[in-house]
A and B are shown apart, each in its own frame.
Chain A
């Protein structure tokens, strides 16, 4: 989906916004609770996180790598509740540890996206003038090429194992593509956030209290931190939750096209990319697919609920 340009309606700070912050938050939470889908979403996300965390306590990491081709493609059993994959690895272990990586990629990619987006948005909106037009042209330029195309090119350039070798962290070996993919996804998706932030900055800048803050000598940085960021929080949180789901899916697409996170690091996306070829062995694709779905579904419901909750206009 394309992003709205400058013509996107700037969130108006109408009378509702003047309600004191605390009760505003309380009301948002109340609204959130009323939104059953958001609750379902929160439950799903909690379940997935618990699955991944508890799973990794119960199952040693080595299980996700141990292969035994003589037990390849076995249907679920007591020994292997999710069955085994094409070279006889335990799918349950891979779904657990792949889930950690998928969630990590999703969340950190969004953090990168938010950080860059916010920084650019604040800089553009606050400084204005030449900085604004350069940054916004840059955003425009990056928006004019499909993200998948950009990500493919960037990944090919920066995933050379010679320059980015595997690394070991806390006794586990990871593919560097995992980190590269975080930055590739983050750096190709910040544009929307920067536009939202910029428009909020612009409207806050017009508000009297900011002018007043200037008048009493508050520094620009302080002004930004105190007045602008809190006002951006709602749209950013919404965009971020939805972004996590999008990042998990994008990683899966890149994996399907042969450029996702590489072995030895499993992700839901690359397990599915492999399992694709084995539609007859339902357990191979069903479990990673189920967890991708539960996660994105949960996060999307949550994000959707947050959107309704933070946007006072949708109160009826």
Chain B
């Protein structure tokens, strides 16, 4: 099977659009960090969804736990998948061998992403001038449309070339290399899921809950012959998580009830906005909806090393600012400029409440100015944004990207592994929908309660319980994935006085699936002792498992 120019162009266009991030924060993030969504699209383009899903699932396992704190990932999963899947389909490679294409491509692509941040930095000063001129259309072009075009023109040609010429290159390469090397590549591909799983374990980072990982691992070993459906595992994990949270945290709840009651029922309502007569200096429900949509859609589009998300923040609230300060060009100019300074946070958990708080503060200020009263100092607005963006992004990166996203992926992976499109559709639809919905809820809360909303968001026992429950389920699903999809086994055997001793059979007698579990735990242990050096571990694992496979130990 060959790849036509049209197919290569369609795949390249897909990657370019995902990389431009113009399809929304949690949708483009999902597609960038994970493999299954792109696997499905490539499968549709290549006319072989089942095999594409199987290959994408294999790649996915290596890249579990990949997120982008600070904007760049150690490896661009979307590019790795978009190149490796068609190449593997066209050359008939085994799914494990496709890892050999995915890993180097993903590493190279992360340089392209850094380059994009650099280019975006050049735009920022132009946006400053446009803000000075109050040129809204110009700002939309410079902050949103131009970065989109730039990224598309960076990624389209490079991915097109890699996909179109990659297949024949890899094909002739495969024919030329000896079987022992092919075997070694398969061994590497089989072991690398241990990296993805260990990374997810480390990022969820709840050593107190690791028992659920082991529980799931052995439950799944027992149930393996029954060929249990993916959802059954998720439900079992859900029950385990519920039981744990109900038994352990319920008691903590009751002890703290007195405190949390205070926060939630007596303090908070004081911050409720008194219902003011509708006038033009009022931020309406419609304004909140529109602001959230503009932000969610473009958070990462003009991301640059210099200002990070400042340009999208300003663009998101630009219409509301115009409404509030429209009659006062000097104030409007100042407002545009104060929201163009460095801003960086996690888009939903940080961006949403901060946007709400900002709108509420700007509204207060605009009203005071209109009435000729003393207006709140604009420095307070900036200090609030800057103070909150850090801690909220920490929680957002841990909960949303590291836990919720990979939990959905883990639940869907067995479907993907069996070649079903459900493996992609399930997380691809659920993740953006869930995050969009609660993000809007957070934004409204920020607007209504001001900065106290953050205490409610972070301090509530409900949130803590939910996070613990999700972490428990996440670790449980990692146990299931370890026992099903990490393959490390040895073909070694000895003949001693006529009797054949197979090492793997002996190991299985001691503890079935010992080697995969050990591999994951070793990597996990390294991460917790030496820090999350993902690339270093990736490099060493490739070398070690390649050599072990090549000399026939594995």
Q: Are both chains from one complex?
A: no
Chain A contacts to B: CB under 8 angstroms: none
The chain B residues found within 8 Å of chain A, CB to CB, are none
